[in-house]
Chain A
Amino acid sequence: MSQAAAAHAVVEPAETPLTPDSWGKLGMWIFLAGDAVGFGTLLAAYGIMRATSGDWPDPYEVLGINLTAAMTFLLICSSVTMVKALEWLGKGDRERCKKFLFYTALGGAIFVSLQAYEWTHLIHRGLLINGNPFGAALFGTSFFLVTGFHGLHVTGGVIYLLAVLSSVARRPPAASYNMVEIVGLYWHFVDLVWIMVFTFMYLL
């Protein structure tokens, strides 16, 4: 592949860096841009509903942030294991790459479990998708919708990571570099969105 890349560079000197190698990356970026608009719309709707409501509860008091802060930290850690996986694969170390991909998927799985725990706790306290004993009912609706949409992304990401992991195990390192880089883009995006969700839905 490096020979092909070198030949390519001679023909087209740095004019079009989006070589066929990175078409998948381009596709993932376009998908993520669309997904970002989806999340942006949800958060903007949340902001409008909150701004126009007279009895919106203080999220900090209803939700609590200790567990969620730990979940935020966990996602940041899983982003680091993701870049480490790619770094090791770039150095040709497939075993370490597999290990770090597994840690990343594990971090995501723990995140979703903690979210399930948090939801259960809140539902027991009466916060529902159509009801909220602490104030505006739309608070419950938007909370479960936005965190649920993000949680689905994490769940999908864990499945995606495990699929890539099994593929990495069956190919030479150079052949799976692109694939690992692309799953990394998705995973970091999920982390990035959580940074926004954490700020807008828990801290503000």
Chain B
Amino acid sequence: MAGDHKHPNYMAIFWTLAILTVVELGVVFLPFGKVINGTLLCALAVAKAAIVAAYFMHLRFEARTLGLIAVTPLAIATLLIFVLMPDHFAVNHQTADKKPAAAAPAKH
């Protein structure tokens, strides 16, 4: 059993992760607004997480069963977002009706 794993080039993966982290820090200062910056940051985070799972956790070289187990939380998390969306709309609707003054002092 020992040593029968293919070992990828871990230093290359380390540098990729380090560079992606620096890129993330740079993205924070980009002047593209919250939506584009947010999308970029989420994409970078997902890419980094995928690299860690695929290479450090050896998922690329494992049996498919383990991959399925790893993907399950992603499916549940996606479902969770849709389940929570009505709450988001309901609260925003209420606050917009009842206290419009509360939203005004927020600095944006």
Contact A48 B66 (CB under 8 A): no
Q: Within B54-82, which residues are at the interface with A (CB < 8 Å)?
A: 56-58, 62-63, 65-66, 69-70, 72-73, 76-77, 80-81
Contact A51 B38 (CB under 8 A): no
The A interface, classified by DSSP as helix, strand, loop or mixed, is helix
Q: Is the CB of A73 within 8 A of B11?
A: no
**Considering the chains assembled together, what is the distance between the CA atoms of A33 and B73 in angstroms?**
6
Q: Is the interface of B mostly helix, strand, loop or mixed?
A: helix
Instruction: Say yes or no: A191 contacts B80, CB within 8 Å.
Output: no
**Tier of interface size on chain A:** 35 or more
Tally of A-B residue pairs with Cβ under 8 A?
A: 140
Whether B2 and A90, one on each chain, are in contact in the complex, defined by CB atoms closer than 8 angstroms, is yes
Contact in complex: B91, A52 (CB < 8 Å)? yes
A192-B49, A203-B41 known; A90 vs B57 contact (CB < 8 Å): no
CB of B105 within 8 A of CB of A55, answer: yes
Q: How far is the CA of A32 from the CA of B74 in the complex (A)?
A: 12
Once the chains bind, are A76 and B14 in contact (CB under 8 Å)?
yes
Q: A44-B80, A79-B56, A83-B10 in contact; A2/B88 too (CB < 8 A)?
A: no
Task: Check B10 against A89 for contact (C-beta < 8 Å).
Answer: no
Chain B nearest Cβ from A90, distance in angstroms: 4
A-B contacts besides A30-B69, A44-B77, A199-B24, 16 pairs, CB < 8 Å:
A1-B1, A18-B63, A21-B1, A29-B66, A34-B73, A40-B73, A51-B88, A54-B102, A55-B106, A65-B25, A69-B25, A80-B13, A90-B2, A185-B57, A198-B45, A203-B24
